[in-house]
């Protein structure tokens, strides 16, 4: 008795193609190659596709015109850049073992793009009514979306609801808020001099930077703020008083009040030493998104629609940041974590669930055609 081979899985095939197109943030050539593939797949799913060009990587905007439903669009946010440099596949190859799919970027968040496109194609085939669907696929999310945040803000201002396709909590629960996340660069200039023959003629930029970092640490000591000094550079030779130094800091905020106070204090830093120079500038900024009533109502609708599919989901805030910080902080009804479940984001053991990929596709398709109905049933638009 012969057994016929299993039918190919289009979702896994798409995820494999996207994963084999490595796409690190800032690598314009690698991003462009994947963008071409994504735009082609989006067009086949029924989307109109547009590129928003940028030297470090284009942002992709996809639109599925409304069918029988007026009003504002539903906005979906995702990204196609990853933290993994080109060449990572050599030591972290694509693999499928039962329900587990591994490879750079499969969980964060190429599987989310696969689920979205499969859901949209299903919606188009169904001919069911739905509002306009807008999708923004960002090219620099992994470094705080410095070139995309304005676009995110503009798209969200015209959206009835925002659905984020970042990975969910462990187990699949959704995200209803996020810590604020800011990347700051502290840059110091000093005066170079011979470190032995004329040290007093110099101003040591590294010493100045160290003192400033002590100040910054004291600034957050009694606040619910996470501070990470992620990179420090400066100087060059031990016999030269260093003339420049800098540090890149990562800050995470639990509430807007502490965020505002700390950022204001950073802007007011002044040099300790005469003749030293100091600047403090934002590299990226994602405001604190706290759970609110609009998000709670949207979560309730999603939970109800999921229950109709036999799926159980819940929601709670997350520590990590994403583009939904921008939309949620602006007061737009926002829920994140709708990408398929898995684990190991930014880690060598990154993986995503095959069953979860299909379940999220089902849920997204139901949301795209059902959120507006749920909103009408509740007496308000989604």
Give one DSSP letter per residue of 112-129, joined into a string: HHHHHHHHHHHHHHHT--
Paired strand residues for 340? none
What average pLDDT does this structure show over 254-277?
96
- 29/154 same-domain check: yes
- Confidence bin at 1 (pLDDT 50/70/90): very low
CATH number for the domain spanning 269: value is 3.30.70.360
**Which residue bears the tokens 């890149």?**
248
How many angstroms separate the CA atoms of 200 and 170, rounded?
A: 56
Q: Is residue 294 part of a domain?
A: yes
| Same domain assignment for residues 136 and 226 | no
Residues 215, 124 share a domain:
no
| Distance, CA of 357 to CA of 365 (rounded, Å) | 12
The bridge status of strand 225-234 relative to strand 100-102 is: unpaired
pLDDT (mean) for 256-269: 96
**Per-residue pLDDT at 381 exceeds 60:** no
Query: Which is higher by pLDDT, 382 or 329?
Result: 329
Quick one: average pLDDT of 77-100?
Answer: 98
pLDDT above 70 covers what percent of the chain? Answer: 96
Stretch 64-73: mean pLDDT, rounded? 96
Position 61 in a domain: yes
Q: Are residues 23 and 97 in the same domain?
A: yes
Measured at the alpha carbon of residue 44, what is the angle toward residues 40 and 50, in degrees to the nearest 5?
Answer: 50
**pLDDT band at 374; cut points 50, 70, 90:** low
Reported confidence tier of residue 380, pLDDT bands at 50, 70, 90: very low
Whether residues 300 and 350 fall in one domain = yes
| pLDDT (0 to 100) of residue 66 | 97
147 and 21: one domain?
A: yes
Q: Confirm whether 358 is domain-assigned.
A: yes
Does position 132 have pLDDT exceeding 90, yes or no? yes
Taking the alpha carbons of 38, 42, 43, 49 in that order, is the dihedral positive or negative? negative
Across the beta sheet with 244-253, the strand order is 225-234, 244-253, 180-189, 277-286
Q: Is residue 134 located within the same domain as residue 43?
A: yes
- Residue 1 in any domain: the answer is no
Report yes or no on 3 lying in a domain: no
**Quick one: 324 and 204 in the same domain?**
no
Gap between the Cα atoms of 258 and 132, Å rounded: 38
The label of the residue with tokens 């479940």 reads: 341
Quickly count: other Cβ atoms within 10 Å of residue 340's Cβ: 31
Domain of 302? 10-178+289-377
Average pLDDT, the chain: 95
Q: What is the DSSP letter of 8?
A: P
Whether residue 4 is predicted with pLDDT greater than 60 in this model: the reply is: no
Domain end among 229, 252, 286: 286
Same domain, 59 and 104: yes
Question: Does residue 33 surpass a pLDDT of 90?
Answer: yes
| 5 contact partners, CB below 8 Å, separation of at least 6 | none
pLDDT average, residue stretch 60-64: 98
Mean pLDDT of 121-130: 96
Q: Which of 234, 264, 286 is the last residue of a domain?
A: 286
Residue 204 lies inside a defined structural domain of this protein: yes
Selection from 184, 162, 188, 185 nearest residue 175 by Cα: 162
Residue that is written with structure tokens 């669907």 in the block: 133
* Number of domains the chain is built from: 2
The stretch 318-337 carries a mean pLDDT of: 97
Q: Is residue 5 part of a domain?
A: no
Which pLDDT score is estimated for 372?
A: 85
Mean pLDDT throughout 244-272?
A: 96
Task: Give the pLDDT confidence score for residue 378 in this predicted structure.
Answer: 36
pLDDT, mean of residues 57-66: 98
Please list, residue by residue across 280-291, b when 16 or more beta carbons sit within 10 angstroms of its beta carbon and e when fewer do.
Answer: beeebbbbbbbb
Strand partners for 8: none
The predicted pLDDT at position 17 comes to: 98
CA 328 – CA 294 distance, rounded (Å): 9
Residue 8 has what pLDDT? 81
Point out the domain boundary residue: 286, 315, 336: 286
Q: Where are the alpha helices (DSSP H) in the chain?
A: 10-20, 28-45, 111-126, 149-156, 205-220, 256-267, 293-308, 324-329, 354-377
User: Over 50: is that where the pLDDT of 113 sits?
Assistant: yes
pLDDT of residue 342 exceeding 90, the answer is yes
The reply to whether 92 and 166 lie within a common domain is: yes
Contacts of 168 (CB under 8 A, 6+ apart): 174, 175, 337, 338, 339, 340, 341
Q: Residue 373: is its pLDDT beyond 90?
A: no
Q: Is 243 exposed, middle or buried (0-12, 13-18, 19+ CB in 10 A)?
A: buried
Q: What is the mean pLDDT of residues 313-339?
A: 97
Residue 111 belongs to some domain of the structure = yes
**Cα–Cα dist 72/155, whole Å:** 11
Backbone angles phi, psi at 47, to 5 degrees: -80, 150
In this structure, are 224 and 372 located in the same domain? no
Rama region for 379: left / alpha / beta (φ>0; ψ in -120 to 50; rest):
left
Q: Distance (Å, rounded) from C-alpha 112 to C-alpha 106?
A: 9
- Average pLDDT for 196-212: 97
CATH code for the domain of 124: 3.40.630.10
Q: Does one domain contain both 120 and 30?
A: yes
């Amino acid at each position: 008795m012969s057994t016929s081979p299993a039918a190919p899985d289009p979702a896994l095939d798409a995820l494999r193609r996207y994963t084999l197109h490595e796409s690190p943030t800032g690598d314009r050539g690698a991003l462009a190659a994947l963008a071409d593939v994504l735009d082609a797949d989006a067009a086949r799913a029924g989307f109109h596709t547009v590129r928003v060009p940028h030297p470090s990587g284009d942002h992709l905007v996809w639109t599925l015109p409304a069918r029988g439903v007026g009003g504002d669009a539903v906005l979906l946010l995702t990204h196609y850049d990853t933290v993994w440099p080109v060449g990572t596949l050599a030591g972290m190859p694509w693999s499928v073992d039962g329900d587990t799919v591994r490879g750079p970027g499969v969980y964060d968040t190429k599987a989310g793009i696969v689920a979205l496109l499969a859901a949209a194609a299903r919606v188009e085939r169904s001919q069911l009514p739905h509002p306009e669907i807008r999708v923004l696929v960002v090219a620099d999310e992994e470094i705080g979306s410095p070139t995309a945040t304005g676009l995110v803000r503009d798209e969200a201002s015209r959206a009835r609801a925002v659905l984020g396709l970042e990975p969910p909590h462990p187990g699949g629960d959704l995200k209803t808020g996020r810590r604020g996340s800011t990347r700051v660069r502290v840059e110091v200039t000093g005066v170079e001099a011979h470190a032995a023959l004329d040290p007093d003629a110099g101003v040591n930029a590294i010493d100045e930077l160290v003192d400033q970092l002590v100040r910054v640490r004291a600034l957050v000591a009694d606040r619910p703020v996470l501070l990470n000094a992620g990179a420090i550079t400066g100087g060059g030779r031990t016999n030269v008083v260093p003339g420049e130094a800098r540090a890149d800091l990562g800050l995470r905020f639990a509430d807007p009040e502490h965020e505002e106070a700390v950022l204001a204090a950073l802007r007011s830093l002044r040099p300790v030493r005469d003749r030293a120079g100091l600047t403090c500038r934002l590299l990226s900024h994602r405001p604190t998104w706290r759970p609110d009533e609009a998000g709670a109502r949207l979560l309730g609708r999603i939970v109800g629609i999921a229950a109709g599919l036999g799926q159980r989901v819940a929601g709670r805030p997350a520590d990590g940041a994403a583009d939904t910080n921008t939309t949620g902080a602006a007061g737009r009804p926002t829920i994140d974590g709708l990408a398929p479940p898995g684990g190991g984001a930014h880690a060598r053991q990154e993986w995503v669930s095959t069953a979860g990929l299909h379940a999220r596709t089902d849920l997204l398709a139901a949301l795209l055609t059902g959120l507006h109905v749920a909103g009408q049933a509740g007496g308000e638009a989604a």
